[in-house]
Amino acid sequence: MPCRLFPSCRQSITYFACVCAQYTLINRSEQLRIIFFSLSAVASLASPWLAQELFPSDGSIDALSSYAAAAGATALFSFLAYREKASRGAKLRRLEREFELADFTVEQPPSALAGRGSTTTLLALRDKRRVVVVYGSAERLEEMTRAAAIYRRRFTQSGVVLVPVPASDVSKPWPSAAAAQAEGWLWKPRDEAAWRDYFTSLLSGRVDSVALGSSGAWLALSLKGRSCGSGLGLPPWDELLGTKLPPLRRLSADEAAVCTSAADAAVLAEQAKLYDALSRNDAEAVQKLFLPEDDEEVARNTQQATWARWARCRVLLQSPI
């Protein structure tokens, strides 16, 4: 099946042919079901005529009933064949979209870890990187980048890079983009117009372009370049990293925490004090870390708690930031 966007990419065509062949082998029962249901529909349609030819009726069998039963069986088997064929077509269209996405180009900005930047295709990143592409307006991408920054250490552990695609031309990057690019987990899309056309065609008929830009969309690719998740709005990072994009190697509790700012260091220092006090069973030290102030969110959750002892936890953890 030739690529409509990049017909000259032989490597991508070979990959797509291999994926389709693998899909055909794994889902051979799907083809057999389509053939079985189709033949059953034809047999049901011809069953009244065959019954009359092979078993001449003496009038005891109602012809109208036999025709009604044949029509019902034909409709049932036709519906089952159509459903199986539609399911197979949807899966093949998904493979075709993944095939088209393989030729899109991304740029790795210069960073302390990567050194000089480089440009590559998503096809070349297979077996090397997992890619999460987010799409939306500049304001939405800023929100997505800030939400993703919390998981930047996990991105490194899982081999994940984030590629933001703006819904319209952006003259300058959003505020949090520069820091994320310097840390190496935010990459740039090349030929943004082609990326926008891809997302627009992907969601055409479901969401209009204006609503899509304001709400945002995302898709995730596995190490094999296969789609492993997609949706509208912000990516559910906890679920995505926990189930679809796990760490590439076993995590260790001995790994040191990563601090990129004084605020991070302050929070980790307070956390270390709390755990140290808990390990020593020092109630006085724990009490000093809390402020006797009510917090609206904590108070609301306290009222909904099922344990009575949660009623005494209406305080904020003291922090110097």
Mean pLDDT (the chain, rounded) = 76
* Residue 299: predicted pLDDT: 66
- The pLDDT of 102-109, averaged and rounded, is 86
DSSP state of 27: T
Q: What is the pLDDT of residue 312?
A: 41
Contact 158, 245 (CB under 8 A): yes
pLDDT in tens, 258-296: 666 788 788 888 888 888 888 988 888 888 888 777 666
Distance of CA 52 to the CA centre of its chain: 56
pLDDT (0 to 100) of residue 132 = 94
For residues 157 and 247, the answer to whether their CB atoms sit within 8 Å is: yes
Distances from the Cα of 58 to the Cα of 46, 50, 53, 64, 320, angstroms = 20, 15, 12, 15, 97
Cα separation, 76 vs 70, whole angstroms: 10
What confidence score (pLDDT) does residue 311 get? 40
pLDDT, tens only, 45-87: 888 777 777 666 655 556 677 788 888 888 888 888 888 888 8
Mean pLDDT over 23-44 rounds to 77
Residue 237 pLDDT grade (very low, low, confident, very high; cuts 50, 70, 90): very high
Q: Are 315 and 297 in contact (CB under 8 A)?
A: no
Burial of 125 (0-12, 13-18, 19+ CB in 10 A): buried
Report which residue type is found at 286. V
**Better pLDDT: 207 or 30:** 30
SS (H, E, C) 127-175: CCCEEEEEEECHHHHHHHHHHHHCCHHHHHHHCEEEEEEECCCCCCCCC
Q: Are 1 and 98 in contact (CB under 8 A)?
A: no
Q: Where along the chain do its domains lie?
A: 10-100, 105-244, 262-317
Q: Is the domain defined by 105-244 classed in CATH 3.40.30.10?
A: yes
pLDDT surpassing 70 at residue 150: yes
- Return the minimum-mean-pLDDT range out of 183-197, 228-242, 254-268, 290-304: 290-304
Q: What was the pLDDT predicted at 9?
A: 46
